Chain A
Amino acid sequence: MKDKRMFGFELVRGAAAILLALGVGTIFIFLSSDEPLTALRYLLIGPLVSIKGGIASFNTQGFYNILAAMIPTIFTGLAVCVMFSSNQFNLAGEGVVMAGGFVAALAGIYIHMNTGWHAVLCVLIAAVIGGLIMLIPALLKVKLGASEMVTSLMLNYVCMYVVLHFLNYNFADRSKGSTQTFPFEASAQIGTMVPGGSKLTWGFLVALAFVALVALLMYRTRWGYAIRMIGINQAFSKYSGMKVGGTIVLSQVIGGVLSGIGGGIEVLGRYSTFLWKELPGYGWTGVTIAILAKNNPLLVPLAAFFIAYLNKGCQLMATYCDVPSEMIDIIQAAIFLFFAAEQFLSGYRQKIVVKNARADLAKAAQISEGGAE
């Protein structure tokens, strides 16, 4: 009973935070747009409902597009969940996605295999590279006490420039106008699940499988238990005999592997050559998703869907109205601030706690009266 009420409170608080963030977005839309209502319509229902000649219909292709956009962010969201659960603010997901995508692309171009395993191998290589990159901030933290936050932020830039160097100087297809690699072999490309132009590939199912895997890891294995306990109380975990250093490294390497897979699947699924020229932004979106999911892997797809939906809405707003798509950053920042605020609506929570306590007391009084008779 008590738990149910608190759970209800958490739901209300989450919803209030999201509504507040959308409210902030709405204010900015009204400030900047000449046709705010049309812009709002595109933002809120545009992604799934297409309106032609006054008739609204469900936009199936739009739905597929949203699911497709979730593929990389589910992976980065899971990665952040695992790393933040152990209280490690590693923010290198961004760079790892780019590096993972790049090595997967190279493996797709220069390794010749004629089976469907080609794509799997490419993604595995991306996973290994991702894990190796994340070893750097993790080991520096555990061995030397260097802040994983600062080193991981710097690593993002390092990954980006190293990838750009190799892309421009070693692997560029000079016959093309823009800088890109040669196309991947057909066997390395990840196929789509549905007809039409959307990029909803089999990667989506892989992403969902990883949601289940990471949830199992975090809640059903001793490694996951250690990761979560170290996040809650590192000193206690150490005292009770857990290998704190090893677990911190493990959580970040898992984060790297997940981010690398995300980058690899995204590049092999969405494109036919590697053409990113800057950090793709999935790492930061992953942080937002992990916050929304409260570090619970099972909630990651839901959060990823929400962000992909908003993102699509913002893009539509920018295409058809006069509101820049960067609106998404303002809404995301507001979600961040309110959703992660422990004391947000704390007065309301206090009331629930008081009410529960009164109810308990009344019940106890009733029982003791009953006993006296």
Chain B
Amino acid sequence: MWSQLLDTIWKTEFLFSVIRITAPILFAALGAVIAEKAGVTNIGLEGIMMISALFGVLFSYWTQSWLVGVLGAMLIGVLLGLMMGFFALKLKTDIILSGIAVNMLGSGGTIFLLYMFTGMRGNTGALVSPNILIPTVNIPLIKDIPILGDILSGHAVLTYVAFLLVWLIWLLLYRTPLGLNIRAVGENPNAASSVGVSVRRIQYIALALSGALAGFGGAFMSMYYSQGWNSGMVAGRGFIALAAQAMGRGEPVGAMFSSLLFGLAQALRTKVSGLQGVSSYLVSLIPYVVTILGLVIYAASTIKRVKKIKAARPEGKA
């Protein structure tokens, strides 16, 4: 069994699939990073992904254009982010509860909306055709490099966007005035407010950006990954993204690496479940257990580091 597993993993397709599976988690994880940097926890990522995934399919079906579908999904994400902002920032509903409400809309509301718009139940099978899926691209020079080309080239456009966004969001956070404001608001809202930064406005912007990113993730799921929308599609990826954010110490690059770890776990799950004599249910556990273990290891290492710093500090100065 193990040799069988190694055979399937030791192939370029496996690493290719890791990247493919990582992309939607990465989108949502970056969304979690921005929101958390501004001091708001966006637990609604899961629901935003579900809803924008549905609208991605609907928009692309109505216009027969994948690009409109993706942009529409992003727009829906922005609107949901702003809605969470309206309730959490203006009406002072707890941000966690606002997120749970969005998740409820994501799990049941989508089924209702799908029925309302199309009369279909549970999935969009009949709406999807290859020409409205997100296209894949071969990268000129890289595709000719022997092994690397097979792994890195031929992904969906949005996959590259996801990894590009890691860098863009780092730029946004650390090289622009808006990014400075976002970080200031997250670290000390009172200080930010005292120098004239509108805390509420910055948090609105952060939630909108976070929603846009989750919207991309949703579009990726329905318009490329599972080629159509169905009710169990996102399956906790929005929650895993929160864990990726925490494990990545809240930084874009860190979130990328932890997203890759969860992508690896998920890819492993698909490979292992194809083997004989393995419980598909126990295999399904892998990504979730890896997430919990990841959080534990991260939290334990943080505590150790804090202790070290405290120990290194001379007595009486603490």
Contact = CB atoms under 8 A, between A and B. Distances in A.
B93 A342 contact: yes
A145 B236 CA distance: 22
B258 to A, nearest CB: 12
B242 A330 contact: no
B236 A157 contact: yes
Contacts of A136: 292
Majority DSSP secondary structure for residues of B touching A: helix
A144 B289 CA distance: 17
Contacts of A144: 296, 299-300, 303
Contact of A337 (B96, B98, B109, B300): B98
Given A168-B281, A169-B279, A287-B100, A153 B295 contact: no
A359 to B, nearest CB: 27
A279 B92 CA distance: 30
Q: Pick from A155, A158, A329 the residue with the most CB of B within 10 Å.
A: A329
A153 B239 contact: yes
A328 B291 CA distance: 31
Contacts of A155: 288, 292
A334 B83 CA distance: 12
Given A32-B115, A154-B243, A161 B284 contact: yes
A332 B109 CA distance: 10
Interface string B93-121: 11011101110110111011001100001
A343 B302 contact: no
Contact of B91 (A89, A154, A344): A344
A340 interface: yes
Contacts of A326: 108-109, 111-112, 115
A154 B92 contact: no
A332 B107 CA distance: 12
Contacts of A191: none
B90 interface: yes
Contacts of A153: 236, 239, 242
A327 B115 CA distance: 11
Contacts of A51: none
A239 to B, nearest CB: 18
Given A145-B303, A324-B115, A341 B87 contact: yes
B112 A154 contact: no
A336 B109 contact: no
Contacts of A151: 292, 295
B243 A158 contact: no
B94 A340 contact: yes
Nearest to B242: A150
Interface residues of B, number: 46
Q: Pick from A144, A287, A328 the residue with the most CB of B within 10 Å.
A: A144
Contacts of A89: 96
B285 interface: yes
B35 interface: no
Given A154-B236, A157-B288, A341-B91, A147 B109 contact: no
Contacts of B104: 284, 329-330, 332-333, 336
A333 B101 contact: yes
A317 to B, nearest CB: 11
A158 B289 contact: yes
Contacts of A147: 242, 246, 295
A208 interface: no
A137 B195 CA distance: 39
Given A150-B242, A326-B109, A337 B116 contact: no
Contacts of B41: 149
A256 to B, nearest CB: 16
B126 interface: no
Would you list the 9 A-B pairs with minimal beta carbon distance, nearest first? A329-B108, A341-B91, A144-B299, A165-B281, A342-B92, A326-B108, A336-B101, A32-B116, A333-B101
Given A161-B288, A334-B101, 16 more contacts: A32-B112, A91-B100, A140-B295, A146-B246, A146-B295, A150-B295, A153-B236, A154-B240, A154-B288, A165-B279, A326-B115, A329-B107, A329-B112, A340-B97, A341-B93, A342-B92
Interface of B: 41, 43, 87, 90-94, 96-98, 100-102, 104-105, 107-109, 111-112, 115-116, 121, 236, 239-240, 242-243, 246, 279, 281-282, 284-285, 288-289, 291-292, 295-296, 298-300, 302-303
Interface of A: 28, 31-32, 89, 91, 136, 140, 144-147, 149-151, 153-155, 157-158, 161-162, 164-165, 168-169, 284, 287, 291, 324, 326-330, 332-334, 336-338, 340-344
